[in-house]
């Protein structure tokens, strides 16, 4: 009887060891697909010709917003509606910070780009509007 359990345990262990590379490959493929999709999103963004200083400021703004959003997501004392409201406020605040660091011409380019792409976000064709 104990031989049967040992055999089943060994078979299960072999199956897990054999499946591990397949699971790792699937996870790697998923990561690669996400990395490949990211440049497409970047290509869709407007070219603002940011200076190195602006790029550093932008990175800090995004990192700060991400850490604030993570804190909101992990705050179990908030309801879903409260979390949504706080996330919206964080996005607004970071948007204002970005706007403040841009030159007037960069703000104009960003505003035009947003107006062109606003319909895409809602699943509409802005050309049809």
Return the pLDDT at 106. Answer: 92
pLDDT at residue 32 tops 50? no
Confidence of residue 47 (pLDDT cuts 50, 70, 90): confident
| Same domain (yes/no): 54, 110 | yes
Q: Are residues 60 and 37 in the same domain?
A: no
Indicate whether 60 and 25 sit together in one domain. Answer: no
Q: Are 56 and 91 found together in one domain?
A: yes
Give residue 26's pLDDT: 47
pLDDT band at 82 (very low <50, low <70, confident <90, very high): very high
HEC string for the chain: CHHHHHHHHHHHHHHHHHHHHHHHHHHHHHHHHHHHHHHHHHHHCCCCCCCHHHHHHHHHHHHHHHHHHHHHHCCCCCCHHHHHHHHHHHHHHHHHHHHHHCCHHHHHHHHHHHHHHHHHHCCCCHHHC
Supply the range of the domain harboring residue 75. 49-129
Q: What is the Rg, in whole angstroms, of the alpha carbon atoms belonging to the chain? A: 24
- 21 and 71 share a domain? no
Do 63 and 32 lie in a common domain? no
Q: Is there a single domain that holds both residue 40 and residue 53?
A: no
Confidence of residue 45 (pLDDT cuts 50, 70, 90): confident
Q: How many domains does the chain have?
A: 2
53 lies in the same domain as 106: yes
2-11, 52-61, 107-116, range with greatest mean pLDDT = 52-61
* Whether residues 76 and 102 fall in one domain: yes
> What pTM did the predictor assign?
0.57
Q: Are residues 40 and 68 in the same domain?
A: no
């Amino acid at each position: 009887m104990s031989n049967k359990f040992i055999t089943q345990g060994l078979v299960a262990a072999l199956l897990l060891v054999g499946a591990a590379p397949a699971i790792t490959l699937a996870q790697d493929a998923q990561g690669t697909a996400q990395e490949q999709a990211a440049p497409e999103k970047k290509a869709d963004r407007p070219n603002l010709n940011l200076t190195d200083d602006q790029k550093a400021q932008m990175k800090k703004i995004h990192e700060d917003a991400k850490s604030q959003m993570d804190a909101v997501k992990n705050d179990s004392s908030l309801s879903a509606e409260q979390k949504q409201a706080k996330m919206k406020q964080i996005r607004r605040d970071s948007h204002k910070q970005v706007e403040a660091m841009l030159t007037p011409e960069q703000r104009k380019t960003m505003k035009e780009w947003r107006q062109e792409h606003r319909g895409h976000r809602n699943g509409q064709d802005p050309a049809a509007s």
